[in-house]
């Protein structure tokens, strides 16, 4: 059952999302409103539940998703690190400037190949300090595997890694790379949510918190942001303990297995 959004923090989150939507439609890119709503809900949940840390994006393009991360970053204690081999710096800075305005900002742009990111001296003190990592760089399987290895070193104990273009028919190698990395590193990452071209991973010993969030809050969070989605958990946890999300299906906000569609087990 979903919970009702009533707290001041949750109302503030919706105001922040409305601010993002104003930017969203003016920045070039492929970051969907549905994915933005999922990010905004999870990042807000992190803040309400005391999950803090830096934020990282590998592959920035025009700054569309980076702008949402900027809205959620705390300039007094968190760094938004943007990594790309070649920046459209004026466009990205303009997008972030609309977020930060005349106030303090805490973003850094690092023009480098993510394959050498962990060798950068500035990353020495950054291990396990990131609560959110978005991987949207080169889409070869080799590059995705590398970026997941980078994320493994940088992700905080209770953070989230989001990988772009999971289940996108144009990039089947991305899906295979994510699944292979999770299979080969079961003590490091668990896949708890996928949909709208994104996969979401967290540490296995923290995954239950995020599964519980998906089950009890995410449907309501979507609806509060004007997104009609269906959350699906169509098998038993022992087979695959992962939620899927997509456009509203059969007027069901939440759907369990075919044989018991009203029951969702985590």
Does the pLDDT of residue 261 top 80, yes or no?
A: yes
CATH number of 8-255: 3.40.50.150
Which of the two residues, 118 and 172, has the higher pLDDT score?
Answer: 172
pLDDT band at 16 (very low <50, low <70, confident <90, very high): confident
The confidence score (pLDDT) of residue 144 equals 98
Chain-centre distance for alpha carbon 202: 10
Distance, in Å, from the CA atom of 201 to the CA atom of 182, rounded to the nearest integer, reads 9
Distance, in Å, from the CA atom of 147 to the CA atom of 114, rounded to the nearest integer, reads 7
pLDDT band at 9 (very low <50, low <70, confident <90, very high): low
Distance, in Å, from the CA atom of 63 to the CA atom of 31, rounded to the nearest integer, reads 10
Q: Judge whether 72 and 98 are in contact, CB under 8 Å.
A: no
Stretch among 6-20, 66-80, 99-113, 141-155 having the lowest mean pLDDT: 6-20
Does the pLDDT of residue 3 top 70, yes or no?
A: no
The gap between the terminal CA atoms of the chain, to the nearest Å, is 13
Average pLDDT, the chain: 94
Does the pLDDT of residue 1 top 50, yes or no?
A: no
The confidence score (pLDDT) of residue 2 equals 44
Q: Provide the whole-model pTM.
A: 0.94
Q: 193-234 pLDDT, tens per residue? A: 999 999 999 999 999 999 999 999 999 999 999 999 999 999
* Torsion angles phi and psi, residue 197, rounded to 5: 70, 20
What does the block give as tokens for 146?
């590398």
Distance, in Å, from the CA atom of 249 to the CA atom of 46, rounded to the nearest integer, reads 28
Does the pLDDT of residue 6 top 60, yes or no?
A: no
Does the pLDDT of residue 11 top 50, yes or no?
A: yes
- In the chain, what are the domain boundaries? 8-255
The confidence score (pLDDT) of residue 125 equals 87
Q: 44-100 pLDDT, tens per residue? A: 999 999 999 999 999 999 999 999 999 999 999 999 999 999 999 999 999 999 999
pLDDT band at 122 (very low <50, low <70, confident <90, very high): confident
């Amino acid at each position: 059952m979903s919970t009702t959004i009533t707290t001041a923090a949750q109302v503030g989150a919706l105001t922040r999302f409305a601010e993002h939507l104003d930017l969203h439609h003016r920045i070039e890119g492929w970051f969907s409103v549905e994915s933005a709503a999922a990010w905004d809900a999870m990042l807000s949940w992190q803040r309400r539940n005391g999950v803090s840390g830096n934020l990282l994006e590998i592959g920035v393009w025009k700054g569309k998703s980076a702008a949402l991360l900027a809205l959620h970053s705390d300039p007094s204690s968190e760094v938004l690190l943007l990594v790309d081999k070649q920046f459209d710096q004026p466009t990205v800075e303009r997008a972030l400037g609309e977020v930060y305005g005349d106030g303090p900002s805490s973003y850094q742009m690092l023009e480098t190949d993510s394959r050498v990111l962990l060798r950068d001296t500035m990353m020495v003190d950054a291990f396990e300090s990131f609560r959110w990592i978005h991987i949207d760089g080169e889409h070869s399987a080799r590059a995705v595997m590398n970026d997941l290895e980078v994320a493994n070193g940088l992700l905080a104990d209770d953070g989230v890694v989001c990988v772009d273009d999971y289940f996108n028919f144009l990039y089947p190698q991305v899906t295979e790379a994510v699944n292979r990395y999770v299979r080969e590193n079961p003590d490091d990452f668990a896949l708890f949510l996928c949909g709208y071209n994104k996969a979401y991973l967290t540490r296995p010993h923290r995954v239950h918190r995020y599964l519980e969030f998906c089950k009890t809050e995410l449907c309501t969070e979507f609806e509060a942001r004007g997104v009609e989605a269906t959350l699906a958990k169509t098998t038993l946890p022992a087979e695959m303990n992962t939620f899927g999300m997509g456009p509203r299906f059969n007027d069901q906000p939440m759907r369990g297995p075919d044989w018991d569609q009203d029951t969702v087990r985590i």
